Amino acid sequence: MVEGAIDRVLFSEKDIAEKVEELGKQITKDYKGKDLLLVCVLKGGILFMSDLSKKIDLPLKMDFIAVSSYGDSTVSSGVVKILKDLDTSIEGKDVLIVEDIIDSGLTLKYLLGNLKTRKPASLKVCTLLDKPKRRTVDLTPEYCGFSIENHFVVGYGLDFMQMFRNVPYVFIPKQEYVDKMQSS
* Of the candidate residues 24, 44, 120, 141, the single one contacting ligand 5GP (CB under 6 A): 44
- Which listed range, 6-14, 47-55, 56-64, 146-154, lies at the site for ligand 5GP (CB under 6 A)? 146-154
Contacts of 145 (CB under 8 A, 6+ apart): 16, 19, 20, 23, 48, 127, 128, 129, 130
By annotation, the residues acting in catalysis are 103
DSSP category for residue 3: G
Between 31 and 48, whose beta carbon lies closer to ligand 5GP? 48
User: Contact 67/82 with Cβ under 8 angstroms?
Assistant: yes
Q: How far is the CB of 102 from ligand 5GP (least distance, A)?
A: 5
Between 13 and 70, whose beta carbon lies closer to ligand 5GP? 70
Edge-first strand order for the sheet with 81-84 is: 81-84, 61-68, 36-42, 94-102, 122-130, 143-147
Q: Quick check: 120 binds ligand 5GP (CB under 6 A)?
A: no
Q: How far is the CB of 101 from Mg ion (least distance, A)?
A: 6
DSSP category for residue 160: B
Binding residues for Mg ion, per CB under 5 A?
41, 44, 70, 99-100, 159
Binding residues for ligand 5GP, per CB under 6 A?
44, 69-70, 76, 99-108, 152-154, 158-160
